[in-house]
């Protein structure tokens, strides 16, 4: 008699957990539909991923940031020009970002 009740409880629990999993999956799918990619065609000097995340986080959740490093030839020219003026910005520069 108790085995029958135990089986019924197990069956109810499995149905409940399946519906919960399905609901959670649907919620995740809805969130995924709202995601987007922002393209940044120019990254200002002295801007790094940490600073960019700080600025953009006021508009919503930021998951990943990718900043493309500037071309090595461009970096050489920038360093040469800046060194002549005022010591210049020596850190890694970025050309664009996603």
Q: Which of 80 and 97 is assigned the larger pLDDT?
A: 97
Does residue 29 share a domain with residue 14? yes
47 φ/ψ angles, rounded to the nearest 5 degrees: -95, 125
50 burial level (CB within 10 Å; 0-12, 13-18, 19+): exposed
Percent of the chain with pLDDT over 70: 63
Q: Is 87 left (phi over 0), alpha (psi -120 to 50) or beta?
A: left
The pLDDT of 7-11, averaged and rounded, is 59
Same domain, 67 and 79: yes
Same domain, 81 and 95: yes
Report field, pTM of the whole predicted structure over 0.75 = no
| Containing structural domain, residue 29 | 1-35
Whether residue 72 is found in the same domain as residue 87: yes
- If asked whether residues 29 and 55 sit together in one domain, one would say no
* Residues 5, 25 share a domain: yes
CA–CA gap between residue 78 and residue 80 (Å, rounded): 5
15 and 55 share a domain?
A: no
Average pLDDT over residues 86-98: 70
Average of per-residue pLDDT values in the chain: 76
Count how many domains the chain has.
Answer: 2
């Amino acid at each position: 008699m108790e085995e029958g009740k135990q089986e019924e409880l197990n069956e109810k629990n499995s149905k409940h957990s399946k519906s919960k999993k399905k609901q959670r999956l649907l919620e995740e799918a809805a969130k995924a539909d709202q995601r987007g990619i922002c393209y940044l065609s120019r990254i200002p000097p002295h801007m790094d991923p940490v600073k960019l995340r700080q600025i953009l986080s006021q508009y919503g959740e930021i998951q990943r940031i990718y900043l493309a490093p500037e071309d090595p030839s461009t970096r050489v020219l920038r360093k040469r020009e800046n060194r002549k003026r005022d010591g210049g910005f020596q850190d890694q520069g970025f050309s664009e970002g996603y």
